[in-house]
Amino acid sequence: MSYPPPWRSESDAAAAVALTQAYPFAHLFTAHGGLTATRVPFVADVEAGRVKRLRAHLNGQNPQCVGLDGAPVLVVFSGPATYVSPHWRTQPTRGGTYDYEQVQIRGTVRVVADKDFFCRLIDDLSALIEPQYAEVGDYPVWQTSMAPEGYVDRLFPAVTPFVIDVEGVEMISKLHQPFPLEDRLSVAAHLERSSRDESRLIAAKIRKLTEG
């Protein structure tokens, strides 16, 4: 028996790219020196429609930095998720569950002790993330060139920038696919009434699958 089951595996590389860009604040898992996790914003570099590399940085005092160069790692990008109650199906014969999407990326780290690389990373992160919060105010996208003189020079020795050379990408899309159509539509209808943005996003994804 394979896990996850085939119906949960999303084979569309573009969908995986889109999720990493919409939800760049991901968990970095390492096993050198013991299991450790840190949540870090990532830039996903895409080539030929697929994630080729990930770029990020850690606070230099983070224990994960020790032995990080050359280490195998797992990065998990968590997309929208929502609880689904048995009451929301036409036949509540199975228990509650969560529907969700995520991307798991495995690879090997290269630490890059280069200030220009770090500046490009921060600029790329700002260009990716700040437009997602444009409703907060009409501001230009922040770039390192806007920092006070000497700020980056003082900051750089305290961080550990790195690249992850991607070796495997797996996207999980659990959206009630194996349930009867009437159950899926009922779940979507209930989620559409939720005040939670994530629940409504999952509802839209369920409906899109039923219409496809």
Contact assessment for residue 79 and residue 102, using Cβ atoms and an 8 Å cutoff: yes
pLDDT at 5 > cutoff 90: no
Contacts of 87 (CB under 8 A, 6+ apart): none
The Cα-based distances of 34 to 29, 55, 71, 76 in angstroms read: 10, 23, 12, 18
Any idea where the domains of the chain sit in the sequence? 6-177
**178 CB neighbour count, 10 Å cutoff:** 10
The more confidently predicted of residues 2 and 19 is: 19
| pLDDT band, very low/low/confident/very high, at 1 (cuts 50, 70, 90) | low
Q: What is the pLDDT of residue 7?
A: 86
pLDDT at 60 > cutoff 70: yes
Of the given ranges (5-9, 156-160, 161-165), which has the lowest mean pLDDT? 5-9
Alpha carbon distance 43, 39 (integer Å): 13
Q: Model's pTM, two decimal places?
A: 0.94
Q: What is the pLDDT of residue 204?
A: 97
Contact assessment for residue 86 and residue 179, using Cβ atoms and an 8 Å cutoff: no
| pLDDT band, very low/low/confident/very high, at 112 (cuts 50, 70, 90) | very high
Q: What is the pLDDT of residue 91?
A: 84
Per-residue pLDDT of 114-151, as tens digits, reads 999 999 999 999 999 999 999 999 999 999 999 999 99
pLDDT at 186 > cutoff 80: yes
**In the predicted model, what is the mean pLDDT of residues 63-75?**
97
pLDDT at 4 > cutoff 80: yes
% of the chain with per-residue pLDDT over 70: 99
The CATH homologous superfamily of the domain defined by 6-177: Electron Transport, Fmn-binding Protein; Chain A (2.30.110.10)
